[in-house]
Structure 1
Amino acid sequence: MKLTTASMASVLALAAAAPLVAAPAWAEPAVGTSVETDAHRTYSAAEFFQTRSYGMSSPAGLAFSTDGRSVLISSDQTGVFNAYALPIDGGEPVALSASTTVATRGVSYFPNDDRVLLMADSGGGGSELTHVYVRELDGTVRDLTPGEAVKADLLGWNAARDIFWVTSNVRDPEVFDLYAYNADTYESRLVFENPGVLIADVSPDGRWLAIDKPVTSADSDVYLVDLQGDREPRLVTAHEGDVAHATYAFTPDSRKLVYGTNEHGEFWQAWTHDLTTGAKAPLIQADWDVEFVSYSPSGRYRVWALNADGSTELTLLDTATGQPVRLNGMPAGSIGQIRYNADETRIAFTVSSDTSPNDVWTADLATGQARRLLTALNQAINEADLVGSVVVRYAASDGTIIPGVLYRPKGASAANPAPAIVLTHGGPGGQSTRGYSAQIQHLVNHGFAVLAANNRGSSGYGKTFFHMDDRAHGEADLQDIVDAGHWLRQQDWVADDQVAVMGGSYGGFLTAAAMAFHPEAFDAGINIYGVTNWVRTLESIPAWWGAQRDALFDEMGVPATDGERHRRISPLFHASGIRRPMLVVQGANDPRVLPVESEEIVAAVRANGVPVEYVLFPDEGHGFQRRENRITAQEAYLAFLNRYVRK
């Protein structure tokens, strides 16, 4: 699993980071769709979102077809995510699903034939009630986890490849039990009845189950369950005080558990626990968080990644030689999503950067020679017209140093200052990272500077920084966002009377809070499905959050006892203070931030006589999956900023 401190109490899933700068992919823009300035071409939102998104199969799945000639990917090339078989020798992806409404992703091939496991939202776009499906050899699709309110996920395969593991809340909406599915008959059996923890991984031999148990947002444990024994969870991370632990993986020989802990410093380290002796030993120690550790099925290759100042630094180690694998023929960029063929002679993976989204590559592990299979960036866009990011730091009002990721538009100077945006991330406890974002690149391409701020409480900068906002959300972290605006105005290339704030989910909350509690701090705000009434939001968390809900309550406060503070920080109850224009964007099916949140803040701002615009997508949830909706939202962002910020 990918691990950050925020993973215990995150409202909004975060995009993966992608460091460095990739080499340009030159192409002429489409006629009549771009505008050329004296410095660079500008492109429409549609052009940016015609860029395709590519993702590999689930890390828990089997990525290569039985004959090794295709790799399983997911892509939104039709406008909606579907599963595809991508030929390794070159050629166009072959569609394995054909959804026109609901994102459908390929998660695993079967080991002995080309059946495919799929995942899709069964409750309509955005409900997050995902089911696991099988695509049979004849193309028919069967739901393996039926039920109206069921949420299910693939956990992985056993070493014999005759069983795959699925987690599901079909028995109890608040917890996810573990089920074993026969790969031939699809018969399932309940393997572990969850008492209210997070099921993390099963050892390849099928004997051991690792479970994570959050106690608070700062304190958590890992337990082991002997599935061939008494099945009583056994604590393996005994400790005193606030120490966080979480599962990374089992070793392929099923002899050790690899887990993460911040017991030995500010950052997450990877340690091993011997399943026979109980002995513990450090595996990976660094001055940044270890995000994840994984292995090839045989164990010859080990992969890990560090969250290094907002960039993901990945290492692929050949354990037979003790040396990192060197890949040839690639542009600069961040490697991710490594998947292996059956005999581990070849990998498929992605490469990305600030100016280039995930391209799909393959490489021969014997020679290291890499070859690009798919290019994601719209060929109408010249990559040289896009901008890379830099990591900056600014001092908050109390002297705390706050990191951020800054995008400076081409042509911005003291003589030609640019309007600017403070971008607030989701969470609580998320992180703004480097990497490609169509949303950011489109705004920067149209002349807006973007500072993606990592306010106190963000993950990735150590446990002290992460916990600085515990039970103080909407206060010190909000001041960090206001101070980000002050810092931007101090740059001679930024127009000091043209600075907006923008964010989604928890970032939408900070946006609305900045507008309500610091009404002169920003010239306008864009609230994307942001929390505006914490009293309601915390009371309406979906049942399937289970143990994560308890950790969130520890960080944010319990509704029954902290309701007064929740009301005090909620922008809705202080909306009379909002005096600058606001754009609100919402999905009608959002299970995390209910549409009523946005509707009420819109009505309240409108009652102030302040300009407010509202965009509602009837077929979206918490995050917009359909390309046409992402384009509409992006066009609304730019039009609003041009109308109320740019002068």
Structure 2
Amino acid sequence: MRRLAKALGTSAIILALAACTPAEQSASTDPAGEAAATAVAQYDAATFHETTSFGMASGGGHAFSATDGRILISSDETGVFNAYAVDPATGEREQLTTSETNATFALSWFPEDDRILVTADGGGDELSHIYLREEDGRLVDLTPGENLRAMFLGWSPDGTDMWVATNQRDAASFDIYEIDTVAFEAGVVFQNDDSLQIGSVSPDGRWLSLVRNRTSADSDILLLDLSAPGATPQLITEHEGNIAYGDYTFTPESDALVYATNEHGEFNQAWTYDLATGDTAPLIEADWDVSFVSYSPSGRYRVHGINADASTEVTILDRETGEALPLPDLPAGELRSVRFSRDEGQIAFLINSSTSPSNLHMVDLTEQMQSQLTNALNPAISQDEMVEASVVRFESFDGLEIPGIMYRPHNASADNPVPALVWVHGGPGGQSRVGYSATIQHLVNHGFAVYAANNRGSSGYGKTFFHMDDRRHGEEDLRDIVAAGHYLRSLDWVADDQVGVIGGSYGGYITAAALAFHPEEFEVGINIFGVTNWVRTLESIPPWWESFREALYDEMGDPAVDGERHRAISPLFHTENIVRPMLVVQGANDPRVLQVESDEIVEAVRANGVPVEYVLFPDEGHGFRRRANRITASEAYLTFLEEYLRTSGAAE
């Protein structure tokens, strides 16, 4: 499992949005070949982004209230994320928090009453605290302090204590605390002196799993018996060579750890480790990675997801019968965030597709009745006007097959070729996946094709593919993106003199690197909070990344000894090569890619006399959580592309 994807991965820069300015264009539905044209209206960014984003409460807490069965969710319907309670019978939502600035996300109902836990940081600085929301609406910071980060882990077996992890003692290490629900006094459960990555706590509160990330290809799991005073974490994955291990969860009976391993093939499988005997056994094997494993409150049902070619296939298994739980007919799309009611008579979940943002659904398992409780899509636009995503592969410069997600505008045809963009994900080990993107749909609605390439080094396609870019970033992975541009130019419905590149975080780096090291390959580039100086970035990583610093340096190189290579692949030191227009977008509070990264490359490229646009958000971090800022960013992308990409062929 790639921990680096959590470190530099593109945050949710593509979320949801309403206001339209109709214009007519023709449409095509086949992403690669010919298709009939139809007419569609054209809309502004607000129409797409004023779609509402919904998210379920944290997997470690209670999604259904104990008193009336209401469902706890997060929603940005006000423009800023807040916590809401949803009536499962009517879909009516009650707003529980009222932040107008910082995004506030729901974590859990309390075990026996209508208090809730939420989390929020300071304008995207990632220093998240955990807050108690009293039934009268008052918020209390349960993890006070400066420059600390807190995470909710779950509840004690009897529900009288909550488990949290914070780095308040040492910025580089997350210790575990038990906070009682009466006086809210905290006691140390585990002092993490070795800066290990926190895994899971068993349902009976006895066992703690921890992960040591040795390199990007090699990791270990350790177990700590919390019931034994003075006990130390014990290694349970003794092995030779490079094998990656990770934590999923404990079994409901607290008799086994369910863990991830790629020891037995290309993909992560789910195995169990018997806590009494140490025996291991396969649990879930597939030809793709097992993404997650979880259980219902009583343990009767097991839920797992398979990352099948950039889409998640979810199975809900009845452990009593050994059969998959039958569900009524559901709308097309991907199930996400499955949560059981406390009596297991109902399940709530999200359904997301490339043409529809996530909506909250509920199924009554007794009656086999399903209901949709939200309507996320802005009524000013319909699903029919969206573009279906398709998985498309091409051969890269060396013959390696590269997968990606294609969004073909309705008006694209051989008679009407359109400009196109190669979209680069973050990570570097991230993955572009099928799903709704307001930003992409807005661009495609305005006649720009988007191809989200999963270059070598992307997760989801096996460990060999995943490690092809280790210590070679900015080399073959960048050439894959250049080859993706060549592939787009080969399509008869793409204007071969109007192809650009766009990406966020590591994808922003690749965008800037493409302009610096392959200056004639793309007509334009959009760099969204991308690394431009690897020397500084790797020296200034946030302290809370300590648990996977060694793995990060193993993959990217240690700045103490690999500084020369880091300078060689950093666009900032080669800006004299950049001759094509660039748009840079940055959050001032970004702790991962500092604002100075964007400031300096903008100044340097402008010195070349090259057009450079710069959008800086003072209230955002690594990803844009405020709807107004997402709208501004999307409109900036479109304005830039209309001026510098759509007209580039004609100008030449």
**TM-score, with length taken from structure 2:** 0.95
Residue 25 of structure 2 aligns with an amino acid whose one-letter code is T
Within the alignment, does 1:143 sit opposite 2:144 as a pair?
Answer: no
The Cα shift of 1:329 comes to 4.1
Within the alignment, does 1:443 sit opposite 2:443 as a pair?
Answer: yes
Residue equivalent to 2:196: 197
**CA RMSD for the aligned pairs?**
1.6
CA distance in 2, matches of 1:77, 1:9: 26
Structure 2 residue matching 1:468: 3-state secondary structure: coil
Equivalent pair of 1:350/1:361 in contact (CA under 8 Å): yes
The Cα shift of 1:16 comes to 13
Question: 361-370 or 552-561, which moves further after superposition?
Answer: 361-370
The Cα shift of 1:563 comes to 0.3
Which of 15, 37, 57 in structure 1 is aligned with 2:25?
A: 37
Residue equivalent to 1:254: 254
CA distance in 1, matches of 2:422, 2:68: 46
Residue equivalent to 2:371: 371
Relative distance call for 1:118 and 1:406 in structure 2 (3 A) is same
Equivalent pair of 1:86/1:92 in contact (CA under 8 Å): yes
Alignment size in residue pairs = 632
Relative distance call for 1:32 and 1:266 in structure 2 (3 A) is closer
* 1:44-93 alpha-carbon deviations (Å, 9 max, x no partner): 10010100000000000101111243110000000000001111111431
The Cα shift of 1:513 comes to 0.2
CA distance in 1, matches of 2:12, 2:581: 28
Within the alignment, does 1:131 sit opposite 2:129 as a pair?
Answer: yes
CA distance in 2, matches of 1:153, 1:60: 10
Structure 2 residue matching 1:246: 3-state secondary structure: strand
The Cα shift of 1:307 comes to 0.6
CA distance in 2, matches of 1:113, 1:186: 16
Equivalent pair of 2:91/2:374 in contact (CA under 8 Å): no
Relative distance call for 1:457 and 1:72 in structure 2 (3 A) is same
Equivalent pair of 2:508/2:526 in contact (CA under 8 Å): yes
Within the alignment, does 1:12 sit opposite 2:9 as a pair?
Answer: yes
CA distance in 2, matches of 1:169, 1:46: 39
Residue equivalent to 1:226: 225
CA distance in 2, matches of 1:9, 1:623: 13
The Cα shift of 1:184 comes to 2.5
Residue equivalent to 2:101: 101
* 1:568-615 alpha-carbon deviations (Å, 9 max, x no partner): 000000010000000000001100000110010001110000000000
Relative distance call for 1:350 and 1:87 in structure 2 (3 A) is same
Relative distance call for 1:604 and 1:135 in structure 2 (3 A) is same
The Cα shift of 1:17 comes to 13
The Cα shift of 1:320 comes to 1.7
> Where does structure 2 lack aligned partners over 5 or more consecutive residues?
27-38, 648-652
Relative distance call for 1:16 and 1:192 in structure 2 (3 A) is farther
The Cα shift of 1:7 comes to 4.9
Within the alignment, does 1:214 sit opposite 2:213 as a pair?
Answer: yes
Residue 622 of structure 1 aligns with an amino acid whose one-letter code is H
Equivalent pair of 1:387/1:441 in contact (CA under 8 Å): yes
Structure 2 residue matching 1:184: 3-state secondary structure: coil
Equivalent pair of 1:389/1:434 in contact (CA under 8 Å): yes
Residue equivalent to 1:152: 150
Equivalent pair of 2:19/2:46 in contact (CA under 8 Å): no
Residue 166 of structure 2 aligns with an amino acid whose one-letter code is S
Residue equivalent to 1:272: 272
Structure 1 residue matching 2:168: 3-state secondary structure: coil
* 1:341-390 alpha-carbon deviations (Å, 9 max, x no partner): 11111111101101001000111122332100001111111110111111
Relative distance call for 1:273 and 1:68 in structure 2 (3 A) is farther
Within the alignment, does 1:540 sit opposite 2:528 as a pair?
Answer: no
Residue equivalent to 2:81: 81
CA distance in 1, matches of 2:14, 2:23: 30
Structure 1 residue matching 2:606: 3-state secondary structure: helix
Equivalent pair of 1:9/1:428 in contact (CA under 8 Å): no
CA distance in 2, matches of 1:635, 1:428: 26
Residue equivalent to 1:355: 355
1:113-512 matches, within 5 Å, as 113-121=113-121, 124-194=122-192, 195-229=194-228, 230-512=230-512
Residue 307 of structure 2 aligns with an amino acid whose one-letter code is N
Relative distance call for 1:478 and 1:190 in structure 2 (3 A) is same
Structure 1 residue matching 2:507: 3-state secondary structure: helix
Residue 83 of structure 2 aligns with an amino acid whose one-letter code is A
The Cα shift of 1:32 comes to 5.8
CA distance in 2, matches of 1:437, 1:210: 35
The Cα shift of 1:159 comes to 2.5
Residue 223 of structure 2 aligns with an amino acid whose one-letter code is L
Residue equivalent to 2:35: none
CA distance in 2, matches of 1:17, 1:446: 17
Structure 1 residue matching 2:535: 3-state secondary structure: helix
Residue 5 of structure 1 aligns with an amino acid whose one-letter code is R
Relative distance call for 1:484 and 1:32 in structure 2 (3 A) is closer
Relative distance call for 1:92 and 1:36 in structure 2 (3 A) is farther
Equivalent pair of 2:20/2:47 in contact (CA under 8 Å): no
Residue 155 of structure 2 aligns with an amino acid whose one-letter code is W
> Where does structure 1 lack aligned partners over 5 or more consecutive residues?
19-28
Residue equivalent to 2:581: 581
Residue 201 of structure 1 aligns with an amino acid whose one-letter code is S
Relative distance call for 1:15 and 1:296 in structure 2 (3 A) is farther
CA distance in 2, matches of 1:326, 1:541: 46
Structure 2 residue matching 1:159: 3-state secondary structure: coil
**TM-score, with length taken from structure 1:** 0.96
Equivalent pair of 1:6/1:430 in contact (CA under 8 Å): no
Equivalent pair of 2:572/2:601 in contact (CA under 8 Å): yes
The Cα shift of 1:33 comes to 3.3
The Cα shift of 1:36 comes to 3.3
Equivalent pair of 1:69/1:89 in contact (CA under 8 Å): no
CA distance in 2, matches of 1:634, 1:231: 53
Equivalent pair of 2:10/2:505 in contact (CA under 8 Å): no
The Cα shift of 1:14 comes to 5.8
The Cα shift of 1:35 comes to 2.6
The Cα shift of 1:257 comes to 0.4
Equivalent pair of 2:20/2:46 in contact (CA under 8 Å): no
Residue 146 of structure 2 aligns with an amino acid whose one-letter code is E
Relative distance call for 1:645 and 1:16 in structure 2 (3 A) is closer
Relative distance call for 1:31 and 1:486 in structure 2 (3 A) is closer
Equivalent pair of 1:243/1:261 in contact (CA under 8 Å): yes
The Cα shift of 1:43 comes to 1.4
The Cα shift of 1:231 comes to 2.3
Identity over aligned pairs, percent: 60
Residue equivalent to 1:26: none
Relative distance call for 1:88 and 1:101 in structure 2 (3 A) is same
CA distance in 2, matches of 1:509, 1:227: 43
